[in-house]
């Protein structure tokens, strides 16, 4: 009997539904090819949740996610909801609660520049020729964004803003394991980021990561201060394989790494819980400037579905087939507007046409 995986499909706002349509078409084909049933249940999230059910993360959506093996998320937000109180806005009101409810503690963001797209990067050709592939593993539920005490105390000019950075040994251990596991399937290098010359959390971070590394003797571990890492990423990104970082450092470095590729519409991400549950989404936002025109790049959403196959469903071959199909289509010259450079051999296509090409490359 065919294996069944339940997926909570949350397209969200802006280009979310447009790019999600292509990802679900790809999943249909993969399901047929691999004799697997993907049972997708659609639910409202973000602005769509506010408009249709009064909340960015309606209870019906939470229930559908709880009854699923993974969440495939589009993107949320847009000008229509920007005047709402911050906690009710699509991003804060949906993404943070989802991370909390499902214990999504590990954020994996690959920054990949395909060899055929090196011209889209802001870096010099000689720095990125042949492309690069860096994976940022970011701790997502601890550190300075969540530790207590936090807040603003006092009155007037005597007010004090307080944030606390705390990490426990188990929190560091579990994210370190994620990074080393990922490295084992890649080039077997982990660069752990900290600020151990100043921060106590970083001293503990460095010690615990070094201890965990002994369980992965094949993986080469290095440590780098976060300020140096920010410079090294722009200087020579190819030196990195897996970057392991706590929440805030990872937040900043993963955006920097993504920007180096020059094409936000290309980058997927995974947020993993303990076990196999995870949420998968493009790194970009809802792109209201191009929403509704059918021209958005669906590749990030399709690659996010590929990460879901790998990390939540154990379908590594199918996931790699999607990665290969995307690379093939780019080599064939297909480009949505965001990655079109008007070079010989390039074909400007819309969202559905590039989806068609990827599906053709699969089958
Ligand atoms: P954005 O990522 O939506 O857009 C930045 C630029 O990249 C725009 O020019 C956009 O057209 C382009 N772009 C992004 N994805 C693309 C794609 N797939 N294909 C082609 N072009 C693409 O960021 P922004 O403009 O800062 O934010 C817009 C809205 O998205 C805001 O409401 C923001 O809060 C929200 N947002 C949501 C998420 C999320 O859902 N996780 C993440 C970031 C931003």
Residue 88: give its domain's CATH number: 3.40.718.10
How does pLDDT run across 233-286, given as a tens digit for each residue? Answer: 999 999 999 999 999 999 999 999 988 887 778 999 999 999 999 999 999 899
Could you tell me if 132 and 254 lie in one domain?
Answer: yes
- For residues 117-141, give the mean pLDDT: 89
202 lines ligand 1 (CB under 6 A): no
Distance 282 CA to ligand 1 centre (A): 9
Task: Please write down the long-range contacts of 197-204, taking CB distance under 8 Å and 24 or more positions apart.
Answer: 197/225, 199/165, 201/143, 201/165, 201/166, 201/167, 201/246, 202/246, 204/167, 204/169, 204/172
79 pocket-lining for ligand 1 (C-beta < 6 Å): no
Q: Is 111 contained in some domain?
A: no
- The pLDDT value recorded for residue 120 is 79
What is residue 168's three-state secondary structure? Answer: coil
Prior bond to 191 cis, omega within 30? no
For the question of residue 67 being annotated catalytic, the response is: no
pLDDT of residue 1: 79
> Are 88 and 76 contacting, i.e. CB atoms less than 8 angstroms apart?
no
Catalytic residue among 51, 63, 87, 227: 227
The confidence score (pLDDT) of residue 259 equals: 87
Q: Is residue 76 part of a domain?
A: yes
Is the same domain home to 300 and 351? yes
Mutate to test the pocket of ligand 1, among 287, 290, 303, 304 (most ligand atoms within 8 A of CB): 287
Total number of domains in the chain:
2
Contacts of 126 (CB under 8 A, 6+ apart): none
The residue out of 227, 260, 293 marking a domain boundary is: 260
Tell whether 157 and 85 lie within a shared domain. no
Question: Residue 159 — very low, low, confident or very high, per pLDDT cuts 50/70/90?
Answer: very high
Query: Which among 284, 290, 302, 336 is the best mutation to test ligand 1's pocket, defined by most ligand atoms within 8 Å of the CB?
Result: 284
pLDDT band at 210 (very low <50, low <70, confident <90, very high): very high
Specify the pLDDT at position 85: 92
| Within a domain: 265 | no
Q: Is residue 114 part of a domain?
A: no
Q: Are 233 and 62 in contact (CB under 8 A)?
A: no
Distance separating alpha carbons of residues 91 and 276, to the nearest angstrom: 24
Relative orientation angle of helices 299-311 and 16-34, to the nearest 10 degrees: 40
CB of 264 shorter than 6 A to ligand 1: yes
Q: How far apart are the first and last CA of the chain?
A: 22
**Which residues touch 124 (CB under 8 Å, ≥6 apart)?**
none
Q: Is residue 110 part of a domain?
A: no
Residues 126 and 232 both lie in one domain: yes
Point out the catalytic residue in the list 194, 251, 323, 338: 251
Burial grade of 162 (CB within 10 A; 0-12, 13-18, 19 or more): exposed
- Structure token pair of residue 119: 């011209």
CB 245 within 8 A of CB 137: yes
Q: What is the pLDDT of residue 115?
A: 80
Alpha carbon nearest to ligand 1 atom 11, residue: 287
Is 338 a residue of the active site?
A: no
Last residue in a domain, options 260, 282, 298: 260
Residue 363 has pLDDT above 80, yes or no: no
Q: Is 98 in the pocket of ligand 1 (CB under 6 A)?
A: no
Pairing of strands 132-139, 106-113: antiparallel
Residue 341 pLDDT greater than 90, yes or no: no
C-beta separation of 44 from 320 below 8 A: no
Q: How confident is the model at residue 329 (pLDDT cuts 50, 70, 90)?
A: very high
36-42 and 3-12 strand pairing: parallel
Closest ligand 1 atom to Cα of 75: 40
Percentage of the chain lying above the pLDDT 70 cut: 100
Shared domain for 188 and 288, answered yes or no, is no
Any idea how long the chain is? 363
Determine the 3-state secondary structure of 233 from DSSP.
helix
Clarify whether residues 211 and 283 are in a common domain: no
What integer is the mean pLDDT of 169-178? 98
Three-state DSSP at 63 gives helix
Residue 116 lies inside a defined structural domain of this protein: no
**How many whole angstroms from 294 Cα to the centroid of ligand 1?**
15
User: In percent, how much of the chain has pLDDT > 90?
Assistant: 88
259 exposure class (CB count in 10 Å sphere: 0-12, 13-18, 19+)? middle
Atom of ligand 1 nearest to the CA of 282: 41
Residue 356 falls in the annotated catalytic set: no
Same domain, 274 and 229: no
Name the β-bridge partners of 136. 109, 243
Residue 302 structural domain: 1-105+270-363
Residues 147, 91 share a domain: no
- Let me know whether 232 and 282 are in one domain: no
Same domain, 143 and 231: yes
Does residue 3 form part of some domain? yes
At 258, phi and psi to the nearest 5?
Answer: -65, -45
* Co-location of 224 and 312 in the same domain: no
The CA distance from 147 to 242, in Å, is 26
Q: Is 124 noted as a catalytic residue in this protein?
A: no
Query: Confidence class of residue 292 from pLDDT cuts 50, 70 and 90?
Result: very high
Q: Is residue 275 part of a domain?
A: yes
The last residue of a domain, from among 239, 260, 281: 260
The yes-or-no answer on residue 69 being catalytic is: no
Mean pLDDT of all residues belonging to the chain: 95
- Asked if residue 130 and residue 3 are part of one domain, the reply reads no
Query: What are residue 10's DSSP bridge partners?
Result: 73
Please tell me the chain's helix, strand, coil percentages from 3-state DSSP, rounded to the nearest 5: 50, 20, 30
Average pLDDT over residues 332-341: 93
Note the pLDDT of residue 98. 96
């Amino acid at each position: 009997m065919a294996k069944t995986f339940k997926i909570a499909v949350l397209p969200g706002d802006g280009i979310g539904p447009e790019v999600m349509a292509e990802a679900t078409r790809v999943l249909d084909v993969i399901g047929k090819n691999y004799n697997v049933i993907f049972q997708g249940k659609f639910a409202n999230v973000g602005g769509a949740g506010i408009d249709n059910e009064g909340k960015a993360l309606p209870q019906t959506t939470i229930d559908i996610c709880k009854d699923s093996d993974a969440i495939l998320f589009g993107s949320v937000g847009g000008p229509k909801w920007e005047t709402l109180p911050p906690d009710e806005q699509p991003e804060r009101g949906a993404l943070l609660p989802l991370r909390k409810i499902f214990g999504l503690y590990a954020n994996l963001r690959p920054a990949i520049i395909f060899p055929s797209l090196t011209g889209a990067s802001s870096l010099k050709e000689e720095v990125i020729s042949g492309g690069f592939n860096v994976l940022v593993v970011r701790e997502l539920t601890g550190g300075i964004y969540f530790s207590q005490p936090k807040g603003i105390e006092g009155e007037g000019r005597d007010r004090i803003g307080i944030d606390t950075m705390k990490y426990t040994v188990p929190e560091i251990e579990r994210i370190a394991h994620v990074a080393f596991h990922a490295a084992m399937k890649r080039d077997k290098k982990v660069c752990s980021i900290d600020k151990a010359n100043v921060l106590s959390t970083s001293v503990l971070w460095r010690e615990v990561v070094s201890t965990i590394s002994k369980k992965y003797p094949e993986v080469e571990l290095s440590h780098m201060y976060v300020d140096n890492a920010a410079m090294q990423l722009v200087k020579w990104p190819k030196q990195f394989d897996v970057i392991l970082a706590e929440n805030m450092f990872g937040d900043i470095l993963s955006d920097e790494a993504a920007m180096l590729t020059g094409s936000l519409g290309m980058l997927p991400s995974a947020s993993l819980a303990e076990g196999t549950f995870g949420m998968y989404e493009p790194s970009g936002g809802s792109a209201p400037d191009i929403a509704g025109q059918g021209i958005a790049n669906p590749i990030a959403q399709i690659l996010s579905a590929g990460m879901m196959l790998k990390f939540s469903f154990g379908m590594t071959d199918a996931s790699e087939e999607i990665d290969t199909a995307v690379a093939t289509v780019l080599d064939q010259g297909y480009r949505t507007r965001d990655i079109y450079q008007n070079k010989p051999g390039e074909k400007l296509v819309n969202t559905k046409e590039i989806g068609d090409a990827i599906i053709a490359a699969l089958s």
